[in-house]
Chains A and B, each alone.
Chain A
Amino acid sequence: MTGAAALAPATWKRPPLIADARLRWALCLGAAAYLVIGIGSLEVNWARLADGFERGGRFVLAFLQPDFTTRWDDIRRGFVESLTMTVTSTAIGVLLSIPVAIGAASNLAPRWIYSLCRGFVAVSRTLNEIIVAILLVAMFGFGPFAGFLTLTFATIGFMAKLLAEDIEEIAPDQLDALRATGAGFLQQLDFGVLSQVMPRLIGLSMYRLDINFRESAVIGIVGAGGVGDTLNTAMDRYEYDSAAAVILIIIAIVFAAEYSSGWLRKRIQ
């Protein structure tokens, strides 16, 4: 009886991720303790919080009656600047990201170009847009040009990384087949790579257009022009109704971009 059970046990438990039971429990208890101590260390200023709630309430009320008219000229100028910045930086960023992406794909680029391009991508993605904007505003002065450069820089890093990963996943046989016909390197890229990553390229570009528009509203706050500038000014003047108008328009544009890019991506699949 016991012999048969030993040969074929009837119970089975999935082996735990961490084999050592003591280490497993120590990690769980440690995490719980850290959480308790962490919450205990927060200093909450309840008076300030109440104040903030009141201010937040005023802000929410302003949303119910946004004022599009009083500052319309400023708002319009801000949006035109932001949209210009968005479109130009996306277009140029995407164009520049293609060679970087090819350089950052390990199945196409030689080792040293690969390291160089991956390095550039890493730098571009490490630096947050706001930090880059502060730097570029200091270099090129206030205004949308600094914003344009910031967004272009960020676009290259973003697109090159995702596109390079896509390029690395393409079927190697198809490149071999093109190589076997005697096709040159650029022809291999055209027929073998571009054709395979095109839907992803268009989808990512649309997504980046969307991101760049939202970022253009943020980097305006540090002086890089655009609608962020308008929003910042409105907040500084406590004109919450104008600020609400700006935010509502941003939401509308982001929605429109979201739906149109979804539609476009479906079309090109």
Chain B
Amino acid sequence: MLSLEGLQKRYPTGDLALRGVSLAVGAGEVLGLIGPSGAGKSTLIRCVNRLVEPSAGVIRLEGRDLAPLSGSGLRQARRQIGMIFQEFALVERLTVMENLLSGRLGYTGFWTSWFRRFDSADVARAFELLGRVGLTGMENKRADALSGGQRQRVGIARALMQDPRLLLVDEPTASLDPKTSRQVMRLIIDLCAERGLAAIVNIHDVVLATEFLPRIVGLRAGQVVYDGPAAGVDHDVLTRIYGDEDWTAITQRMDRQRGAGPADDAELEVQAA
């Protein structure tokens, strides 16, 4: 449903962040994007919804090239792509409900949104999603009154308000504690499975990535150096992506995990296929 062909990004400073990335994501497929800091992971997912302008290449979403779009065409394309951020990116001074409804802005006229008179179907959807992410009754709280995990849940619900086909998830757990990280990852995976959403998840934590995400893409210096199943990520692959290091501690943890939960992995792979 999403295919990237020869995607390149050169920043005005001259840095080449992406050197011709090609990638295909199937409908309902959830993939993890790993790689060292500065490898271009954030740039890559921001190129998909054109928050960053790619310098060259094709971004095809369900057959349509997004690269040349502008104005209302671009806004319509963006409605189909939900985004979840590392630092949540909620508007802190607005209520939880307003943050959720802001996911509908692409479908709503200016004056309607100015007076906050959103369509009643949108409001009903917002309440339903609030319940789904476990925040029932929080609609009138201000976003800055929530904890990190709660904020990320609001961020997830906002992205789903768009009724997207694809989710772009940028380091969803980097600002969260380990337990909350796992809960948030599980929530994202479950929601994608429920709604048949495809997703690209940028993630630093290799162990978390290989546990939850069936397909892993490794990015190094703006190029794809690994694209395969999570089970294939071993000492050699990690060295290819991140460079030389003693990976035994991490590979052992990944092995233990695979031994402990083959059922979960198999289930995820079925969903991905």
Contact = CB atoms under 8 A, between A and B. Distances in A.
Interface of A: 171, 173-174, 176-184, 186-187, 190-192, 195-196, 198-199
B78 A174 contact: no
A176 B89 contact: yes
B23 to A, nearest CB: 19
A181 B93 contact: no
Contact of B110 (A171, A174, A184, A192): A184
B186 interface: no
Contacts of A184: 75, 105, 110
Given A176-B51, A190-B113, A181 B106 contact: yes
B94 A195 contact: yes
B110 A180 contact: no
A198 to B, nearest CB: 7
B85 interface: yes
B49 A195 contact: no
Chain B binding surface, main DSSP class: helix
Interface of B: 46, 49, 51, 75-79, 81-83, 85, 87, 89-94, 98, 102-108, 110, 113-114, 155, 158, 161-162, 168
B89 A173 contact: yes
Nearest to B168: A180
Nearest to A192: B91
A208 B90 CA distance: 31
Nearest to B80: A182
B93 A183 contact: no
5 contacts: A178-B91, A181-B79, A182-B75, A182-B78, A191-B113
Task: Sort A-B residue pairs by CB-CB distance and give the 3 closest, nearest first.
Answer: A182-B106, A183-B105, A177-B89
B75 A183 contact: yes
Nearest to B112: A187
Contact of B103 (A179, A181, A196, A198): A181
